[in-house]
Amino acid sequence: MASARLSALASVAIGVWLAVALPVSQGAGIVTLIGLSGVALLALGLTFGLHGGVTAAAVAFVTRSAVATTMSVEVQPPLWAQVLLIVLMVELASASFALRSRPGDPMLIVARGLTTALVAAVLAQVLVLLVEGVEARGTLVSLAGVTAGVLAAGWVTRVWHRSGLSG
């Protein structure tokens, strides 16, 4: 139980750090607010055992990143670090839930979470390098983006159903 609490605390600490990473003085108060709302939801979820808190926090941080890109300020931390911290936050929060509901080795779970976060950060940096300098705007690009999104969602749903996880 102690390891579950520690894991939850570490997850919330990472969330707070990520939320306040963009200084308010740079005119990014709304960005900080979105981040802190996500942290608040995460803390609530972890306190009351609601899995939705993790999802809400992850969504809040992705939204925060999207809003931050529209502002004329330097985005902090860099994208790969954002991905690393978001994944680490989600992994630690999930570890906390797992350790509360069933037996488990905390060190192994945390080690796997760290590895996943590092892999995700490397993947994000590779993608950044790939799309650097590419400007994707216009109706056609939007249409292609929507189509890709729908296809990806459809594929995930199909895999989900075929694996018998939908119940």
Partner 1 sequence: MTGQPSPRLRAYVTAGVVGLIAALAVGEPSPALIGAVLLTLAIVGIVGGAAPSSELSVLDVPTTAVEGRPFDFLVWIAVEGSIGRAYVDLGLVGLDLVDVVGARKVGRSAFSLMSIGALAEVTVKVEPVGWGRASVGPLELHAESPLGMLDLRLQGSTRHDIVTLPEEATLRKLMSPIETNLHVGDLISTHRGPGSEFAELRPFRHGDDPRSVNWRVSSRHEALWVNERHPEKNGDVMLVVDSQVEAGTELQSLVDRSVRLAASLARAYSKRHNRIGIVTLDGLCRWVYPGMGEHHRRRVLEQLMSVMPGEVIWEAAERAVVRAARRPSMVLVITPLMDPSMAGLIHALKRAGVDVSVIALDVESVLPLAAGQARLLGRRIWAMERERLCDRLSGEGIPIVSWRSIDPPDVPLAQLETWRGRWRRLG
Q: Counting contacts by CB under 8 A, is residue 5 touching partner 1?
A: no
Shortest Cβ 86–partner 1 spacing (Å): 7
| Nearest CA among 61, 124, 122 for reference residue 93 | 61
Backbone phi, then psi, for 59, in 5-degree steps? -65, -45
Radius of gyration of the chain (CA): 18
Query: Least separation, in Å, of the C-beta of 55 and partner 1?
Result: 4
CB of 29 or CB of 158, closer to partner 1:
158
| CB atoms near residue 55 (< 10 Å) | 15
Q: How many residues bind partner 1 (CB under 8 A)?
A: 59
Q: Which two tokens stand for residue 155?
A: 């594929």
Shortest reach from residue 20's CB to partner 1, in Å: 19
Alpha-carbon distance values, 132 to 8, 62, 129, 165 (Å):
36, 19, 5, 38
Interatomic CA distance for residues 103 and 4, integer angstroms: 11
Task: Provide, rounded to whole angstroms, the least separation between the CB of residue 10 and partner 1.
Answer: 15
Q: How far apart are CA 73 and CA 28, in angstroms?
A: 8
Q: How far is the CB of 84 from partner 1 (least distance, A)?
A: 10
Binding site for partner 1 (CB under 8 A): 51-52, 54-55, 57-59, 61-63, 65-67, 69-70, 75, 79, 82-83, 86-87, 90-91, 93-94, 97-98, 102-105, 108-109, 112, 116, 119-120, 123-124, 127-128, 131, 134, 136-137, 142, 145-146, 148-149, 152-153, 155-156, 159-160, 163-165
